[in-house]
Amino acid sequence: MAGPSPNADAPRNVTKYLGQNYQFVPGYTRSRDPTTGDIRDPKNQGYYPKPAIWINSTNQNLWALVKIANNLATWILFSTGGSGPIVHIAVDASTAPGTNPVLPTSLGVVTITGAQVATGTIGANVIRTNSVAANQFNIEIQRTTAVAAADSTKNGVSHFNSAQFSVAGTGFVTLAGGTTAPVLSITTDDADVVVPNGSGSILMGNSLSNTIRTIGSVANTVKPIVSYTNKTFLYGKGLGTEASTIGPLTDGQIIIGSTAGDSAAATLTAGTGISITNGSNSITIASNASPMGTPGVFNTGINYNAGTFTVESATGSAWTTAVPLVVTLPHPTNIGQFVTLTLPSSGSLSYTFTDAAGTNEIGANLWGTTAATAWNQDCPFYIYVALKSTNDDVSFMISRVPGLTVTPVAGNISVAGNTNASTQGSMFALKKNGSTITAANYASVPCLCVGSFRMQKSGADAWTVQTLNFTGDGINNFNENTVFKFPFGQNGAAAGTNWINNGGTAPVFAGTGYNYVVSKNGKCFLQTNLINCTAAGVGAVAARLSLPLNISSSYGVTTTDSALNDGTTNTLYAVISQNSSTFLQFGKTGSTTTMVNTEVTNSATTVFGCDRIYEISQA
């Protein structure tokens, strides 16, 4: 019997099949490459043994079977097209423990790693393979560096400063900001050639922190400009000497020169009687002094708001050392001389009081008016400045009487919290910076009337300042052209009339025809035009007409300055009054007979008129 085929497995027993008996690595020649489905030998019916060799006779590929699992075969390609496997790799260079060629590990592994090396390491080739450890090699690329001239051995990879270069998607590199050639040097006016430093910069400046700077607003041109710290100035110090600076300047500063030394930044200094206010880009110079020998207040105004009356600067703010109050008053002992004060010496200063619309610091001072009886018409009040007895301070006060030159005694000077201003010549002292003054410090001292305003009084004796107007109110305004009406029931008059009962019954006229004007020098101009007597006078007693302000002495024509007309008879009277009286009496012209209440009859045609000028009592 012939032996087994060289391509077949030898049977174990010729009489009984016991499976394949592999005593060698079998090889199979096929005309195609194996697939995962090639798990059985179609001739011997059993699974391909592991390992097994598969040779593709068409393309000479060599395969090895390494695993069959889940009826899927794993075939590994050993070589292709008849070429053998890679057994080692030759490299450009090696450094122990690296080798050349590079051999695989016992597991057939060769490790390949990328690397970047310093310029000049590789040379002109730029890229190389280099083994630095056994069984592995690096693919190295060289970095470039800056050199003075072309050198291919310094070629390599690099990256660029984005502020200075642009790199296109193709890798093409251009200078940022232009396409023209770069500036390699600058030639100065004196023919010096200036080249960039190691950072590529050419500096243009000096020790004044680059005072000389350059701009490039014109193509291909460097334009020098002079710049320095904000609000400073450069000034020359001579040819060949570096310039210096002044500043930064603050509000109101200017450059002031010096014959011997350097110029400097400084503010102007105010002399006597001068105020200087420094502002942003402004200097305001004003006189705050009185004309020589002229008493008065300067830089002074008044304000009334929400129940508070204020004496302050003319600009509507508190006085300060920069914007002071200046006061000139007669000297109390050196007759013919004056005291001039500039206040405050520090901080700020203002004078205030509150009325019935506020906290009513002015209280229920009467100033000679009838208690518990409203003065429901405007009443003039006068603003005074008074010199402290120590001649070093002032106080602002108010009174019903103009023309005072000396303050009253302390008992007639009221402050917040008392009602000492009981007579028409009494004064009320405003608070100084919110604090009351000591009345004794300002009693019987020089004072000056400096302005006026108006108030009205309620039946509860509460005074309220009236809205200020420019026609009569304010500093150096005295309401001399303001016609005031005298209300009923005041200064001894009966209710509803301006006449006094005087032991009888006072006559009553309809309407308010009783007017008066007050002058700054202390005179009262009286005019009555009483029409339509609605209630006749009763009693053979002298008819007495009350006055808005008490008389100090009377002036005027002694005859025919008054008249009573009962509709049929017109009787002329002369005023009969006494000093410090609160009323006027009337005598028939050419007779010693005094007009009495009963002569004023109840008639719509009864008219009484009177014109009178008198000096106001300062008491």
517/443 same-domain check: no
Residue 104: the pLDDT is 81
Assign 23 a pLDDT band (cuts: 50, 70, 90).
Answer: low
Last residue of a domain, one of 434, 455, 479: 479
Domain assignment present for 213? no
Q: Is residue 300 part of a domain?
A: yes
Q: Which of 119-128, 324-333, 519-528 shows the lowest mean pLDDT across its residues?
A: 119-128
As for how many domains the chain has, the answer is: 2
- In the predicted structure, residue 107 carries a pLDDT above the cut 70: no
* pLDDT tens profile 25-83: 888 889 999 999 899 888 776 888 888 889 888 988 888 998 999 999 999 887 887 66
404 and 496 in a single domain? The answer is: no
Last residue of a domain, one of 426, 450, 479: 479
Same domain, yes or no: 349 and 404 = yes
Q: Is residue 593 part of a domain?
A: yes
Q: Quick one: pLDDT at residue 5?
A: 41
pLDDT of residue 193: 81
Q: For residue 1, is pLDDT > 50?
A: no
63 contacts: CB under 8 Å, gap ≥ 6: 33, 34, 53, 54, 55, 56, 75, 76, 77, 78
Q: What is the DSSP track for 574-601?
A: EEE--TT-SEEEEEETTS-PBPBGGGS-
Give every CB contact of residue 539 below 8 A, 6+ residues apart in sequence: 502, 503, 504, 505, 596, 597, 598
pLDDT band at residue 580 using 50, 70 and 90 as cut-offs: low
Is residue 198 predicted with pLDDT exceeding 80? no
Do 515 and 433 share a structural domain? no
Q: Is residue 292 part of a domain?
A: yes
With H, G, I as helix, E, B as strand and everything else as coil, classify residue 152.
helix
**Residue 433 covered by a domain:** yes
One domain for residues 495 and 437: no
Amino acid making up residue 62: L
Are residues 405 and 506 part of one domain?
Answer: no
Q: How far apart are alpha carbons 129 and 94 in whole angstroms?
A: 8
Q: Whole-angstrom distance between the N-terminal and C-terminal Cα of the chain? A: 173
Instruction: Name the residue range of residue 535's domain.
Output: 485-616
In the predicted structure, residue 476 carries a pLDDT above the cut 70: yes
Residue that terminates a domain, selected from 479, 500, 531: 479
The better pLDDT of the pair 468, 561 is held by 468
Instruction: Examine the domain organization and report whether 473 and 544 are in the same domain.
Output: no
User: Is residue 8 pLDDT above 50, yes or no?
Assistant: no
Q: Which pLDDT tens digit goes with each residue over 210-261?
A: 566 666 667 667 677 666 677 777 777 776 676 777 878 888 888 888 888 7
Q: Do 293 and 374 belong to one domain?
A: yes
What percentage of the chain has pLDDT greater than the value 70?
Answer: 85
Q: Is residue 216 part of a domain?
A: no
Q: How far is CA 188 from CA 59, 119, 195, 202, 204, in A?
A: 78, 37, 11, 12, 11
Residue-level pLDDT at 290:
53
Q: Decide if 588 is inside a domain.
A: yes
Residues 432 and 507 in one domain: no
Q: Check whether residue 424 and residue 568 sit in a common domain.
A: no
Given a cut of 50, whether residue 112 has pLDDT beyond it is yes
Q: Are residues 489 and 602 in the same domain?
A: yes
pLDDT of residue 101: 87
The DSSP line for 475-509 is ET---TTPPEEPPTT-TTPPTTSSEE-TTSB--EE
Q: Is the pLDDT of residue 208 over 60?
A: no
Q: Do 560 and 598 lie in a common domain?
A: yes
Would you say residue 572 lies in a domain? yes
Give the SS3 label for residue 441.
helix
**What is the reported pLDDT for 443?**
98
